[in-house]
Amino acid sequence: MAGLATRRDSNALKMSASTYGLYIRIRGIVQGVGFRPFVYNLATRYGLNGWVRNSAAGVEIEISGNSEALQAFVSELKTNPPPLSRIDSFEAVSIPPNHATTFTIIESQDESHEFLPVSPDVAICADCRRELFDPGDRRYRYPFINCTNCGPRFTIIRAIPYDRPNTTMAGFPLCPDCEADYHDPGNRRFHAQPIACPVCGPHLQFLTPQGETLAEREDALQLARQWLAEGRILAIKGLGGFHLACDATRAESVRELRLRKQRSDKPFAVMAFDVSTIARHTHLGEAEQQWLTSPSHPIVILERLPRSPIAAEVAPGQHTLGFMLPYTPLHLLLLEPSPGFPEVLVMTSGNLSEEPIAYLDHEVFDRLASLADGILTHNRPIYTRVDDSVIRIVHGAPYFLRRARGFAPDPIHLPREVPPILAVGAELKNTFCLTRKHYAFLSHHIGDLQNYETLQAFEEGIRHYETLFRTQPEWLATDLHPDYLATRYAQNRSQVESKPLLYVQHHHAHLAACLVDNGINDPDPVIGLIFDGTGYGSDGTIWGGEVFIGSYAGYRRYAYLKPVPLPGGDRAVHQVARMALAHLWANGLPWEEDLPPVQALCADERSLLYAMLEKGINTPLTSSMGRLFDAVAALIGLRSTVNYEAQAAIELEQAVDMHEAAAYSFRIEWPYLDAHPLWEALLNDLRHGISIPRIAARFHNAIVTLCLEVAQYIRDVEGIRRVALSGGVWQNQILLHRTVRELQQAGFEVLIHRQVPTNDGGLALGQAMVTAAWIEGKNYSE
């Protein structure tokens, strides 16, 4: 074949009498998304012959026919592939025509050296949902209905290529009807690997915490609904693990769940049957609705309506709710509206606080028996545990707080090819990142590496990704902090496998993650406003309020919050009254008896704290912006201790008077960003009875003004107009929106996170890109 025509003239191309052949290889998200059936039906429609198959490299096609038909086939394949697919590369070369007389799907080929992306799990599609509630369908009310357009993917796959024997569905032989569906090119379940029905597929069981079976199949579902309606707490096996569920409108049930789960204040996620139900409880915009109903079905943070009957205990001290829609047929059946049944359920991770989500069948008895009154489970094994994803909507697009189900392990496409690198992330909100060529496989959310169970999940996840993507890292990357469990893992592996290990400064990794998140490839440095709670600095102190000038290759610490002592180290992170008193001490301001943080500590505690500060005992210095938020929240009386990370800062944000325009100020004495004027003004306002919401607003406005002043100064001196915002503090929506607005109005190009979290959940991606720059020899230091 001389080549495919790239355009048509006004007259249709004449049918060629000659036959030509093409070999096509496609990489991307092309397995488990109905790609082969799509190719089959497309080729059949155009009268082309040949075959299509999965391989470890993606999808391969060998096809023959006349020139015009081949051209039309290729054009449609490129421009209108299956909705869940993503084409990353498309190679087509001319070959001699084959002598096939039909087009077929042939057996998958496994090339051990090749790899390809794997589809995330996909929420139930509209067709399957319709069949689920259709009494005339043979899968009516079947909790595991799926097709090529929806259902489990990543959570059930053991190896590639993505075929049924390589999934946890291998133990369910197909019945004759499902076998016929699977092999029928005109059927929506043609080569759908998790295909099942009530005859041959998994089924439900309702168990007591002691393991006694009370009901099965539909009876199990109905018993679960009955118990939920009565106010009981259930463990429910979902797609990537167990949830704990109860009626979200029953305050006593939610309080009991908090007590059992040992989760005092951190918000619970909730689930409702449909969008109209969510709209009765929250302000629901078009973009929020779009993402709630997207194939990923994440938890979306929404503004709560004051009239909502959802118990305040679901999200204590907050005016937002994290809602999601049912993403499995089981969830839909569980939440099916009926008189007397709760329209909103708490649907939180099945674990004790700080542990990983339970996902193995035996774990429910070991770990959840004391938390749940009953257990709704099933016999489809979960291979990989995956939590629910959490997003906000910022300027109409997702802004990740947690990237997991529905997104992982969908790779981040890198702006340039990099060597195989394993970056292990940090301690909190851990993810790891495995790179190969132009792909960065950022893992699903692992959690906080502060206990053995989470460390096991971390190590198991790394092994699975290396197997799944056929990649053995040549380099390792980790955080500078010597005591992180992730760092120790990387150090041990580096020694055992004799692989080089690069230590990447925490905030440099944040900056690099934001750059790659935005597809930045050029080497020009940017301004990085990197604000978070804790990050180990190159000088041995704790950083967190950083202004960098840098790129993948390196950074300069241009400015930072003037350091203050962190009395007692981590104790000050949890007892934020200590942080407020440390800031007052560092600024020469008295601990007056009526101040809330002074009242929060007894006389002996205050005496000990003062001695620690005066003598420098166990008081590492920190420039943390997160700790500054904590200190302000404690000083104005919002909270003296926290029960979860960033609780004080979150409640400070919730308190802001949105109409207050005044702002406190910082004194800039390069490289110090000195908060002394801010503390003096804040204390003065407190003494004069200015309300907490107005003080909270003036503090937020002060940070926005500081960011603008610093960026403008650097632009004038260094000529840099691009600003990257990264670090956990930028989860604060008021701070984010106002800072972006002010910077853009001043003519800056502002980069924020879009594909990965701004918190430490995106850190491993940045570590990988810094390491790639190091390998290329492009590194520089302060």
Q: Express each pLDDT in 499-512 by its tens digit.
A: 999 999 999 999 99
CB atoms within 10 A of CB 589: 15
**Cα-to-chain-centroid distance, residue 364:** 24
Q: What stretches of 65-163 show up as alpha helix (H) in DSSP?
A: 67-79, 126-132
Rounded to whole angstroms, the Cα distance separating 646 from 624 reads 12
Given pLDDT bands bounded at 50, 70 and 90, which one contains residue 782?
Answer: low
> What is the structure's pLDDT at 362?
87
Rounded to whole angstroms, the Cα distance separating 381 from 146 reads 16
Q: Kindly list the distances between the CA atom of residue 570 and the CA atoms of 243, 397, 619, 627, in Å, as whole numbers in the listed order.
A: 30, 35, 10, 11
> What is the structure's pLDDT at 3?
35
Could you say which DSSP state residue 22 is in? E
Over the range 211-246, which residues count as b (16 or more CB within 10 Å of their CB) and which as e?
eeeebebeebbebbbebbeebbbbbbbbbbbbbbbb
Tokens 């949105």 belong to 658
> What is the structure's pLDDT at 522?
84
Rounded to whole angstroms, the Cα distance separating 92 from 114 reads 18
Instruction: Supply the DSSP string of 622-689, one letter for each residue.
Output: E--HHHHHHHHHHHTTS-SS-SSTTHHHHHHHHT--TT-------EEETTEEE-HHHHHHHHHHHHTT
For residues 405 and 364, the model is more confident at 405
Residue 111, pLDDT above cutoff 80? no
> What is the structure's pLDDT at 432?
98
> What is the structure's pLDDT at 130?
97
Stretch 243-257: mean pLDDT? 97
Note the pLDDT tens digit of each residue in 94-106: 999 988 889 988 8
Residue 647, pLDDT above cutoff 80? yes
Q: Kindly list the distances between the CA atom of residue 158 and the CA atoms of 155, 169, 381, 405, 463, in Å, as whole numbers in the listed order.
A: 9, 10, 11, 17, 11
> What is the structure's pLDDT at 6?
29
Share of the chain above pLDDT 70, in %: 96
**pLDDT averaged over the chain?**
93
Given pLDDT bands bounded at 50, 70 and 90, which one contains residue 780?
Answer: low
| Position 762, amino acid | G
> What is the structure's pLDDT at 1?
38
Residue 382, pLDDT above cutoff 90? yes
Q: Which segment, 21-30, 358-367, 626-635, is predicted with the most confidence on average?
A: 626-635
Stretch 584-603: mean pLDDT? 97
Stretch 494-499: mean pLDDT? 97
Rounded to whole angstroms, the Cα distance separating 298 from 123 reads 10
Note the pLDDT tens digit of each residue in 447-478: 999 888 899 999 999 999 999 998 999 999 99
Residue 641, pLDDT above cutoff 90? yes
> What is the structure's pLDDT at 113?
61
> What is the structure's pLDDT at 33?
80
Note the pLDDT tens digit of each residue in 275-331: 999 999 999 999 999 999 999 999 999 999 999 999 999 999 899 999 999 999 999
Q: List, in order, residues 6 or more apart from 108 with CB less than 8 Å away.
A: 53, 54, 55, 161, 163
Stretch 235-239: mean pLDDT? 96
Collapsed DSSP state (helix, strand, coil) of residue 372: coil
Contact in structure between 470 and 56 (CB atoms under 8 Å): yes
> What is the structure's pLDDT at 115?
67
Give backbone dihedrals phi and psi of 744, rounded to 5 degrees, phi first. Answer: -65, -40
Stretch 606-626: mean pLDDT? 97
Q: Kindly list the distances between the CA atom of residue 445 and the CA atoms of 210, 226, 383, 409, 740, in Å, as whole numbers in the listed order.
A: 30, 33, 15, 10, 27
**Cα-to-chain-centroid distance, residue 23:** 37
Residue 778, pLDDT above cutoff 90? no
Contact in structure between 697 and 681 (CB atoms under 8 Å): no
Tokens of 279: 């709209």
Over the range 679-706, which residues count as b (16 or more CB within 10 Å of their CB) and which as e?
bebbbebbeeebebbbbbbbbbbbbbbb
Preceding omega of 473 cis (within 30 degrees of 0): no
Give backbone dihedrals phi and psi of 26, rounded to 5 degrees, phi first. Answer: -125, 130
Collapsed DSSP state (helix, strand, coil) of residue 378: strand
Q: List, in order, residues 6 or more apart from 99 with CB less than 8 Å away.
A: none
Tokens of 380: 């489809």
Given pLDDT bands bounded at 50, 70 and 90, which one contains residue 178?
Answer: very high
Stretch 113-136: mean pLDDT? 89
> What is the structure's pLDDT at 451?
84
Q: Kindly list the distances between the CA atom of residue 461 and the CA atoms of 33, 385, 466, 667, 760, in Å, as whole numbers in the listed order.
A: 23, 9, 9, 46, 17
Could you say which DSSP state residue 430 is in? B
Could you say which DSSP state residue 383 is in? S
* Short-list 365, 363, 361, CA closest to 378: 361
* Short-list 654, 648, 605, CA closest to 626: 648
Contact in structure between 409 and 120 (CB atoms under 8 Å): yes
Stretch 190-218: mean pLDDT? 96
Residue 671, pLDDT above cutoff 60? yes
Is the sign of the CA dihedral 399, 401, 402, 405 positive or negative?
Answer: negative
**Cα-to-chain-centroid distance, residue 745:** 30
Note the pLDDT tens digit of each residue in 727-777: 999 999 999 999 999 999 999 999 999 999 999 999 999 999 999 999 998
> What is the structure's pLDDT at 261?
94
- 251: exposed, middle or buried (Cβ count in 10 Å: 0-12, 13-18, 19+): middle
Residue 15, pLDDT above cutoff 60? no
- C-alpha dihedral (43, 47, 51, 53), degrees to nearest 10: 10
**Cα-to-chain-centroid distance, residue 502:** 25
> What is the structure's pLDDT at 2?
34
Stretch 550-568: mean pLDDT? 97
Pairing label, strands 103-105, 49-55: parallel
Stretch 651-657: mean pLDDT? 97
Residue 114, pLDDT above cutoff 90? no
Over the range 753-769, which residues count as b (16 or more CB within 10 Å of their CB) and which as e?
bbbbbbbbbbbbbbbbb
